């Protein structure tokens, strides 16, 4: 696990974007794993900026998002599909058919999980997977206690996760209680993993991660079992 520290969120985001752009240029049809939330916003802004300057094209890029809330439709203002379209997909030259995200409104959720996992295997492996670090150590929506062998599955969201995400809703009661998420095994199949750590309240989670103790009660610790993980840390999270 390689750890890099940055004096600012902007410099961390620029580094992350540069790393993704380099991989996009190296691979004929790159597959990227994408995350949502506040931490990767700077990364996406930088990717859009570099695209607008003619530095990078997303025409041949395939993307898979980590997760989606159960019950929120594609056009719901708080769905992760809407988030991705607003911050990246609709702002660059993506092929819409190459943008993949779980269907949170699927009638048969287990079938949807199996469909998504099969698609990951068919199109993958993911060349670079972007992750954020949850306060309780979750990656994707894999909450504490999640076995490391899990594939794409439905998860009951921990109250601490729902409280952390309530800032995007009018109240915590409006935050969905379940989501579909790529499992830890799904994530670890990626060739390379980029973990972005930013924001107040992340110091404790970062300390646990860097202690190298591996436990399913701290899902991010599974990353120690991967050979190509880079952790990017900005000053605000220390």
Q: State both tokens at 132.
A: 């954020």
Q: Which residues of 198-207 are buried (b: 16+ CB within 10 A; e: fewer)?
A: bbeebeebbe
Among 12, 65, 68, residue whose Cα is nearest residue 34: 65
pLDDT interval class at 43 (50, 70, 90):
very high
pLDDT of 52 higher than 90: yes
Among 62, 50, 58, 221, residue whose Cα is nearest residue 148: 221
Report the DSSP beta bridge partners of residue 63. Answer: 32, 99
Report the DSSP beta bridge partners of residue 135. Answer: none
State the pLDDT at residue 238.
86
> Among residues 46, 51, 65, 67, which one is catalytic?
67
Name the residue with tokens 């996760």: 161
Q: Is 10 a catalytic residue?
A: no
Least confident range from 91-100, 118-127, 160-169: namely: 160-169
> Among residues 65, 136, 142, 165, which one is catalytic?
136
Q: How far, in Å, CA of 205 to CA of 128, rounded?
A: 22
* Furthest C-alpha separation in the chain: 46
State the pLDDT at residue 212.
87
The string of pLDDT tens digits covering residues 203-225 is: 999 999 999 899 999 999 999 99
Q: Is 67 a catalytic residue?
A: yes
Q: What is the CA radius of gyration of the chain?
A: 16
Q: Is 138 a catalytic residue?
A: yes
Report the DSSP beta bridge partners of residue 31. Answer: 62
Question: Top-level CATH class of 2-198+221-237?
Answer: alpha beta
The string of pLDDT tens digits covering residues 81-97 is: 999 999 999 999 999 99
Question: Which helix (H) or strand (E) segment is 62 a member of?
Answer: strand 62-65
Q: Can you give the length of the chain in residues?
A: 238
The residue ranges of every structural domain in the chain are 2-198+221-237
Q: Where are the alpha helices (DSSP H) in the chain?
A: 9-26, 41-52, 80-87, 109-123, 159-165, 184-188, 203-210
> Among residues 65, 87, 127, 138, which one is catalytic?
138
> Among residues 65, 143, 153, 165, which one is catalytic?
143
pLDDT of 200 higher than 90: no
Q: Is 143 a catalytic residue?
A: yes
pLDDT interval class at 74 (50, 70, 90):
confident
pLDDT of 13 higher than 90: yes
């Amino acid at each position: 696990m390689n750890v890099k520290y940055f004096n600012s969120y902007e410099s961390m985001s620029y580094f992350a974007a540069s790393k993704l752009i380099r991989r996009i240029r190296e691979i004929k049809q790159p597959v990227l794993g994408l995350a949502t939330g506040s931490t990767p916003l700077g990364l996406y802004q930088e990717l859009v900026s570099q695209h607008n300057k003619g530095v990078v094209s997303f025409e041949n890029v395939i993307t898979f998002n980590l997760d989606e809330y159960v019950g929120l439709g594609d056009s719901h203002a708080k769905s992760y599909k809407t988030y991705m379209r607003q911050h990246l997909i609709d702002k660059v030259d993506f092929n819409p058919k190459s943008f993949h995200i779980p269907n949170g409104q699927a009638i048969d959720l287990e079938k949807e999980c199996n469909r998504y996992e099969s698609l990951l295997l068919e199109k993958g492996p993911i060349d670079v997977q972007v992750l954020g670090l949850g306060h309780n150590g979750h990656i994707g929506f894999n909450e504490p206690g999640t076995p490391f062998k899990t594939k794409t599955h439905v998860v009951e969201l921990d109250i601490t996760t729902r409280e952390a995400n309530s800032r995007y809703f009018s109240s915590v009661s409006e935050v969905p209680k379940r989501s579909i998420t790529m499992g830890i095994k799904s994530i670890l199949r990626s060739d390379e993993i980029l973990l972005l750590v930013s924001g107040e309240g992340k110091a404790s989670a970062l300390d646990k991660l860097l202690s190298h103790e591996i436990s399913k009660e701290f899902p991010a610790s599974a990353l120690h079992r991967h050979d190509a993980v880079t952790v990017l840390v900005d000053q605000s999270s220390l």
